[in-house]
Amino acid sequence: MWSEAELALLKHLMWLAEPGHVHCRGVLHLFPNHSEKEIKTRCNGIRDLERRKERKRLRAEVQRTDEPEEPESPTSVVVLPPAGRLHPAVVWVPSTDREIGPMNLGT
């Protein structure tokens, strides 16, 4: 088991070292409860997690850029909307009682 302090120290060492080149035997004295192999395995796990997070962030960014942009004005149509969506020029305005007229409740 790795403590939070050990993980923070290992992440800091990874940040200081050249990418992917933490000298596990050289930092072994900082982690007395762990072997060189455990340190190397943990470094690989941390590096892989960071890569996955970066790929996920890039995918989300690409998906956001693939969505159609809103037109600058309601009359300038960039892309037709997908089925089931209103046209960008259509703006919903709630009606008022003056537009509807008096309500007849059957009395």
In a domain, 61, yes or no: yes
In a domain, 11, yes or no: yes
So what's the pLDDT on residue 105? 77
Rounded Cα–Cα distance for residues 45 and 31 (Å)? 17
In a domain, 100, yes or no: no
> Per-residue pLDDT tens for 17-70?
876 678 888 888 999 999 999 999 998 898 899 899 999 999 888 877 766 565
In a domain, 104, yes or no: no
So what's the pLDDT on residue 74? 59
In a domain, 29, yes or no: yes
pLDDT at 95 over 80: no
pLDDT at 76 over 90: no
- 3-class SS at 94? coil
So what's the pLDDT on residue 57? 92
The total domain count for the chain is: 1
Range(s) of the domain holding residue 27: 4-66
Q: How far is CA 101 from CA 93, 95, 98, 104, in A?
A: 17, 10, 5, 9
In a domain, 22, yes or no: yes
In a domain, 74, yes or no: no
* Tokens of residue 65, six digits: 């850029």
In a domain, 41, yes or no: yes
Better-scored residue on pLDDT, 78 or 11? 11
So what's the pLDDT on residue 35? 92
pTM score > 0.85 for this model? Answer: no
